[in-house]
Amino acid sequence: MEAVKTPTRQDIRKTKPDQLKAFLSSVGEKPFRAKQIQEWLWKKSAASFDDMTNLSVKTRALLKEHFAINPVQEYQKQVSADHTIKSMFRLHDGHMVEGVLIPTDSRMTACVSSQVGCSLSCKFCATGYMDRKRNLDAAEIYDQVVLISQQAEKHYQIPLSNIVYMGMGEPLLNYASVLQSIEHITSPEGLNMSPKRITVSTAGIAKMIRKLGDDQVKFNLALSLHAANDKKRNQIMPINESNTLEALKDALQYFYSKTGNKITFEYIVFYNFNDTLEDARELWQFTKQVPGKVNIIEYNPISEANFVNTEADRLEQFARYLEDKGVTVNIRRSRGKDIDAACGQLAIKNKG
């Protein structure tokens, strides 16, 4: 006798409110239940239909029969000596991504991933040496924020204050899901976080930066720059060959004209590569074309590359040159290096 195949249940978090209302009407339920279900999913972060206690047992059974919730689950966790927490998260199809809770004196920041792996192959980033398996959907990005927020409350009794899309993957190559996730995170019907506390970091996809401007987004934008001339940037970031500095400059100016949001320029100062005063001058020339600030980021070594941090005195001269030109400069010290949780170190190395 041939086995009867169980129909695949639809992911309820990919179901639009109107579709959910139509389903509820078709099974004799009141359409207003859709709003209650949406509230459980996005405001209360329910991972199971059984959590939806203001719905009848019958309604919950119907939902279980026709829909699935595919929550992201914490698979592994490491705590750094500096209290940074790196988590390996398991997706419903078995893929893994990493996310990080970064506690400092002034903020609790969640660093989340937007793709399984990455396709951009930046030479200094561990994720860039992985293949891109797939994009995350909006709910999978949202779930990372919820799980990291729970860690902040559990371990440090401090609520999450900031979110950075700086984990695995290029957010602007997963544009729709990233923006949908931010909508759920910032909406009063969701987690109700301020978009001004969210930063999306890109390696530089000019046409998508322009689209952010057209969509008049409220969150912050950071550009991983790391070199301010095309020849050097091509060497470490192949994406620059199709998204030149000139194209990026035009896109950033367009973005700023549409949103009024200043840009954060991220710059790792590598020894004997991009750490001279001439490099600093090129950086100033590029960044002065659109309002923003420069975050100088410490390089975090990875086994796949042989870059080295610049020396302290060269870093100081580099930063001072920019400051003398009126540039706002922050020198960011990395956290979580001892557990490979720092910027550029995220990669799935171990599943057991």
Determine the pLDDT at residue 205: 97
Q: Is the pTM of this model over 0.85?
A: yes
Chain segment 201-246, per-residue pLDDT in tens: 999 999 999 999 999 999 999 999 999 999 999 999 999 999 999 9
Question: Which is more confident, 80 or 89?
Answer: 89
Residues serving a catalytic function are 98, 343
- Is residue 302 domain-resident? yes
Q: Do 77 and 198 share a domain, yes or no?
A: yes
Read off the pLDDT band of 306 (50, 70, 90).
Answer: confident
Mean residue pLDDT across the chain: 91
Which residue among 31, 53, 68 closes a domain?
Answer: 68
Q: Note the helical H segments in the chain.
A: 17-26, 33-42, 57-66, 138-151, 175-186, 206-214, 230-236, 245-259, 277-287, 312-324
Dihedral angle, C-alpha 93, 78, 224, 107, nearest 10 °: 120
Chain segment 129-142, per-residue pLDDT in tens: 788 899 999 999 99
Indicate the DSSP class of residue 332.
Answer: E
- Is residue 2 domain-resident? no
Dihedral angle, C-alpha 132, 136, 62, 48, nearest 10 °: 110
Q: Do 209 and 269 share a domain, yes or no?
A: yes
Q: Do 256 and 145 share a domain, yes or no?
A: yes
How many residues can be counted in the chain? Answer: 352
Chain segment 160-207, per-residue pLDDT in tens: 999 999 999 999 999 999 999 999 999 999 999 999 999 999 999 999
- Is residue 5 domain-resident? no
Which residue among 68, 91, 111 closes a domain?
Answer: 68
Read off the pLDDT band of 3 (50, 70, 90).
Answer: very low
Q: Do 64 and 82 share a domain, yes or no?
A: no
Determine the pLDDT at residue 4: 41
Q: Do 183 and 47 share a domain, yes or no?
A: no
Determine the pLDDT at residue 2: 46
Overall domain count for the chain: 2
- Is residue 306 domain-resident? yes
For residues 150 and 332, give the distance between their C-alpha atoms in angstroms, rounded to a whole number.
25
Answer yes or no: is pLDDT of 341 > 50: no
Determine the pLDDT at residue 343: 53
Determine the pLDDT at residue 352: 37
- Is residue 347 domain-resident? no
Q: Do 275 and 325 share a domain, yes or no?
A: yes
- Is residue 348 domain-resident? no
Q: Do 64 and 101 share a domain, yes or no?
A: no
- Is residue 186 domain-resident? yes
Q: Do 57 and 92 share a domain, yes or no?
A: no
Read off the pLDDT band of 301 (50, 70, 90).
Answer: confident
CATH code of 93's domain: 3.20.20.70
Chain segment 85-132, per-residue pLDDT in tens: 999 999 999 999 999 999 988 899 999 999 998 888 888 887 777 888
Q: Do 233 and 303 share a domain, yes or no?
A: yes
Q: Do 84 and 190 share a domain, yes or no?
A: yes
For residues 39 and 47, give the distance between their C-alpha atoms in angstroms, rounded to a whole number.
12
Which residue among 68, 96, 116 closes a domain?
Answer: 68
Collapsed DSSP state (helix, strand, coil) of residue 64: helix
For residues 298 and 335, give the distance between their C-alpha atoms in angstroms, rounded to a whole number.
10
CATH code of 53's domain: 1.10.150.530
For residues 77 and 54, give the distance between their C-alpha atoms in angstroms, rounded to a whole number.
33
- Is residue 60 domain-resident? yes
Domain of residue 40 covers 10-68
Q: Do 200 and 150 share a domain, yes or no?
A: yes
Q: Do 102 and 214 share a domain, yes or no?
A: yes
Q: Pairing relation of β-strands 134-135 and 162-165? A: unpaired
Read off the pLDDT band of 7 (50, 70, 90).
Answer: low
Determine the pLDDT at residue 326: 97
